Copies of this chain bind each other. A is one copy, B any other.
């Protein structure tokens, strides 16, 4: 099945917002086994929207539109499709009831234009909006399938996942559903990972092997069609084993979780506590950890010892380690070790991570941008310190330093 994604909205054409919907739908289509050949963005304009539908109809079996289902006069997608296909616009009473109920529950007067959000085309399937008011639409005409979704991602995503994806699957000529497995990697870059698996990626047939990379995390998704979970496992297991035999030391999870989620999960199951002393990452490491719901059960807190005075005052690093001729300095294995051990003692935790380095843009203590020391102290054994030389700008060095520290901690756990 060939698909085209049409995102409708003048704010996209003006560059006021980023078209994240297209990426989400493209990934989701790939997961469903649907090939996306074109993506289009068009404004809230009847004639150009009609032109986009016309062009798409000539080259796609499935046309997915997002945006333009709202209550205002600018929201034209349903009107454009109805005119394009020569269909009537009708009221979807259950959606209208839900809209009226929402306004009455909140005790707000309903502006008449909200009724537009309950409109659909005749002989079409409504797609329920669990996170908003505008109903979605799915229909087939002249062998072309049309799916209309709302623009706001928090409404669009659940509607696609729960209602549109099954509808699309039901139109496809296959019997078996998709099963996929995500292997998450840390401590290895995307290109090294691809290099190690290149023969598998090139030779892939079933299961398919897709590498993903975002914000310093790398993943491999294995996907196959099968009649049951057990049948899928027969195909997925050998491939996962082969990948693990090559890169097992970097695999931290076989599901779509972040490294910080995995660490919170491990510590939580062991009832262990963590603390952090951050210099060059300036709070990022702690921010990543505390973004995980439930992290308060394992993360005691930390000290952002950004200045030497706080390294000395709050974490007892001797001034003659930090400054003066011949001193190792704040960016040193010595300082990282003391910071980690002092943090451990002060927080009374089972583990303490210390990160000190040069985020840039300028060098510090005569040391190069990207030089970072990660120290990990624990009640279970010796303190370990590792030296890293990272690349990138200030933000990427902070990011990589924090992710590297998470990786070292995970290895130790």
Find chain B residues with CB under 8 A from A362 CB. Answer: 293
Q: Pick from A51-59, A173-181, A199-207 the stretch touching chain B.
A: A51-59
Find chain B residues with CB under 8 A from A17 CB. Answer: 23
Can you name 21 A-B pairs with beta carbons within 8 Å? A13-B38, A13-B39, A14-B26, A14-B210, A15-B23, A15-B25, A18-B18, A18-B19, A18-B20, A18-B23, A38-B40, A38-B41, A38-B42, A282-B289, A283-B304, A290-B304, A295-B306, A296-B307, A301-B305, A301-B314, A303-B303
Interface presence of A302 (CB below 8 A): yes
Q: Contacts A282-B291, A300-B306, A348-B309; is A14 near B27 (CB within 8 Å)?
A: yes
Interface presence of A299 (CB below 8 A): yes
Identify which of residues 10-44 in chain A touch chain B, using a CB-to-CB cut-off of 8 Å: 12-20, 22-30, 36-43
Interface presence of A278 (CB below 8 A): yes
A291 and B40 within 8 A (CB) = no
B310 and A314 within 8 A (CB) = no
Closest-by-CB residue of B relative to A289 is B282
A306 and B296 within 8 A (CB) = yes
B394 and A293 within 8 A (CB) = yes
The complex places the Cα of A284 from the Cα of B313 at a distance, in Å, of 23
Identify which of residues 184-217 in chain A touch chain B, using a CB-to-CB cut-off of 8 Å: 210-213
Contact among B22, B30, B59 with A51 in the assembled complex (CB-CB below 8 Å):
B59
B22 and A19 within 8 A (CB) = yes
Closest-by-CB residue of B relative to A305 is B301
Find chain B residues with CB under 8 A from A225 CB. Answer: none
CB distance from A317 to the nearest CB of B (A): 12
Find chain B residues with CB under 8 A from A24 CB. Answer: 15
Identify which of residues 70-124 in chain A touch chain B, using a CB-to-CB cut-off of 8 Å: none
CB distance from A4 to the nearest CB of B (A): 10
Interface presence of A387 (CB below 8 A): no
A290 and B300 within 8 A (CB) = no
Contact among B15, B28, B290 with A27 in the assembled complex (CB-CB below 8 Å):
B15
Interface presence of A242 (CB below 8 A): no
A346 and B314 within 8 A (CB) = yes
Find chain B residues with CB under 8 A from A22 CB. Answer: 15, 19, 41
Closest-by-CB residue of B relative to A48 is B37
Closest-by-CB residue of B relative to A14 is B30
B287 and A287 within 8 A (CB) = yes
A301 and B306 within 8 A (CB) = yes
The complex places the Cα of A28 from the Cα of B275 at a distance, in Å, of 44
Interface presence of A347 (CB below 8 A): yes
B306 and A304 within 8 A (CB) = no
Closest 9 CB pairs of A and B: A282-B290, A15-B26, A283-B286, A15-B27, A283-B283, A301-B306, A39-B41, A283-B287, A301-B310
